Amino acid sequence: MIRRYRASVDDAAARNAYRNLRDDLACIAWEAEEQIAWMRRHRWGADELAIQLLNDDYPVAPALRERGWLPAAVDGLIEEMGSVFDSLGSVGSSGDAGWSDEALRTDARWGKLRHLAREALQALPEEPRVQ
pLDDT tens by residue, 32-43: 999 999 999 999
Q: Tell me the C-alpha to C-alpha distance, in Å, between residue 20 and each of 43, 87, 100.
A: 19, 24, 24
Residues 36, 39: Cα–Cα separation, whole Å: 5
Compute the CA torsion angle 116, 122, 125, 131 (nearest 10 deg). -80
Residue type for position 38: W
Name the strand (E) or helix (H) holding 83. Answer: helix 72-87
Predicted local confidence at residue 2, as pLDDT: 47
State the 10-residue block means of pLDDT for the chain, 131 residues long.
54 90 96 96 92 88 90 93 91 72 95 98 88 58
**What pLDDT does residue 4 have?**
46
The pLDDT of residue 131 is: 58
**Neighbouring C-beta atoms of residue 94, cutoff 10 Å:** 7
pLDDT, tens digit (0-9, with 9 covering 90-100), for 70-94: 999 999 999 999 999 999 987 665 5
Which pLDDT does position 39 carry in this prediction? 93
